[in-house]
Each structure stands twice: as C-alpha cells, then as structure tokens.
Amino acid sequence: MNTNRHTDEELVRFYLATQQSDYFGQLYKRYSNKVYRRCLTITKDPVDAEDFTQDIFMRVLSGLHNFKEKSTFSTWLYTVSTNYCMDRMKMGRRRNEWVELDNEIAKTLVETNDNAGMEERYQLVDLILEKIAPSESMYLRMKYEDNMNIREMAILLQVKDSAVKMRLKRVRDKVKDILIFYQLN
C-alpha cells in the first residue's frame, strides 16, 4: 500500500477507519524529525527531546480521534507537541513571572558590545530565554525561530490575534527591561 501520495488528513481518516498502522506510520515518518526538533528547541536536551517525541506520538496515536480537521494536521500536531513540552518543562521549573538574571548573565550583557560575534549574541539570547518563564519564551520562539505570523500563532494557541500581539509586546518589553537594567549596572 503506497501511502506517500495521501494528504495528512486522508491518512488520519484512513487510520481511524481501518486502524492499519501503515497510515499512522506515514504520519510518523513525515513529522517525527520536526517534532523532535521542536522538542529540542524547548528542552535543549537531546535525551529529553527524544523521550518527549516518543511520548507525543503515543499521545497523538491514542488521541487521533480528537483531530477534527479545523486546522491542518501539522498545525494540530505542532500544538500538541508544544503544549506537551511546555507542560513537562513547567513540572520541572518554578512558575516565576520574574526571574532575576544571575551575575554571569549580567557580566555577559555588560561585556557584549557592537563588535561582539554573532555566536556570543546567540548565547546571550539563549541565556535570557532560559531565565524567563517557558510560556514567555514560547512566544518569542514561535515568532522568531519558527517564523510564525500573528494569525498562525493565534490559531495554534487558540487565542485572539490581539492576545498574541499583547503577549509578544509584554515579553519583548520584559526582555528589553532586563537588558537595560543589566547594562546600566
């Protein structure tokens, strides 16, 4: 049976109707690397990312009947993946809205100047993203790493466009305030 020519949505329908693993297997082949990369972006740990990827596909398989085709399968899977990773990360971290930057980051911020290399800047961004709440960094990652537009983010997060815009603004302002504070000290 050649499943390569079917759309994702057709594969879901065929799987639900027949329970033949080939249909779900094709979806796994199409998306396992993308889900793994999404998990790795959030967890920053290859072992956790691999475990999360397997857990996500097990959940998707058992919850495939919940896919109602209101969005594309890939969008639905992205939502499931992001939510799963964020929930798992929250279990391991405190839910602080404000997390003070430690002296190491403050020192890095002060030392970073216009001539700093791109690698140093990427490291700086990673350090800041690790210090803000996972839900806050998720908005920045979706916008700037995944190049999602406001509408795509709103659909994925099941909120209004205006809510996405406001949350993005708040997170950007928070990061800016953190940078300004440590550059002045």
Contact 81, 56 (CB under 8 A): yes
Residue 112's SS3 state is coil
Cα(124)–Cα(152) distance, rounded to whole angstroms?
Answer: 27
> Which pLDDT score is estimated for 181?
61
> Which pLDDT score is estimated for 13?
92
Q: What is the b/e burial string over 24-56, where b = at least 16 CB atoms within 10 angstroms of the residue's CB?
A: bebbeebbeeebbebbbbbbeeeebbeebbeeb
> Which pLDDT score is estimated for 52?
92
Structural domains in the chain plus CATH codes: 8-92 (1.10.1740.10), 103-184 (1.10.10)
Report DSSP letters for 132-170, one per residue. S-HHHHHHHIIIIIS---HHHHHHHHTS-HHHHHHHHHH
Q: Return per-residue pLDDT of the chain as tens, 185 residues.
A: 565 688 999 999 999 999 888 898 999 999 999 999 989 888 888 888 898 999 999 889 888 888 888 888 988 999 889 888 888 887 765 333 334 444 444 444 455 444 445 666 666 666 677 678 877 888 887 887 777 888 888 888 888 988 888 888 888 888 877 676 655 55
> Which pLDDT score is estimated for 36?
93
> Which pLDDT score is estimated for 135?
79
